[in-house]
Amino acid sequence: MTTARKPTGERRTEIVTAAARIFADHGYAAVGMRDIADAIGIRGASLYHHFSAKEEILYAICLTVTQEPVEQNLPLLDAAGTPTDRLTALVGAHIRHLLHRRVEYVVGRHERPALTPEHRADIEGYLHYYNRRVRDVLVAGMRSGEFRTLDPGLAALGILDMLNGVSGWIRGSADADADDVVASHTALLLGGLRSREAQVGEASSSS
């Protein structure tokens, strides 16, 4: 028996979410379109109405953890406030999105090589742009004296690797874990980035 008809966008989201779980559990190569259709309870023909190939589903999964963060998180870097304020907001948004999309992040990191060259280039374009925007806010913080002078490119890579690594070990409820994970990672990152002058100024203002 098939499930009730759903709006196209809702059904596509359901397919992507279910496929991500199956890919995470069994590996992309071991899963077929029939496995995905069976997991959702729809006919194979219905699945092909939304996606013409398994690789297209993987591409959609990868977009949820690359295009979505670009569109949802990066506007925080354009908001008013100091570089510290903007980076703090981005770290919180990035971790919360990652916890919401944890399975998709895991699949995207491990299965990206299975994408077609064109789709892989699209995904890498989003990743490089996100990295560049993080690098830019670090440069702004170094120029303002808030952050220590570091190689901004390497620092951006290190920050994003640390944040994305959460997807590999977090296991509980995203809502329950989010505040603690955001607080600890923000403290670690800012503690390593703050210049001596900024630390002295912060200590003076709090005394």
Instruction: Dump pLDDT digits (tens) for 5-55.
Output: 555 678 899 999 999 999 999 999 999 999 999 998 988 888 999 999 999
What structural domains and CATH numbers belong to the chain? 54-206 (1.10.357.10)
Dihedral sign of CA atoms 62, 65, 68, 69 in order? negative
DSSP state of 78: G
How many angstroms separate the CA atoms of 179 and 99, rounded?
Answer: 11
Q: How far apart are CA 103 and CA 123, in angstroms?
A: 17
pTM, full prediction: 0.86
Integer angstrom CA distances of residue 177 from 5, 96, 138, 170, 188 = 35, 9, 27, 8, 17
Distance between CA atoms of residues 12 and 60, nearest Å = 9
Q: Which residues of the chain have pLDDT under 70?
A: 1-8, 169-177, 198-207
Q: At residue 147, what are phi and psi to the nearest 5 degrees? A: -110, 150
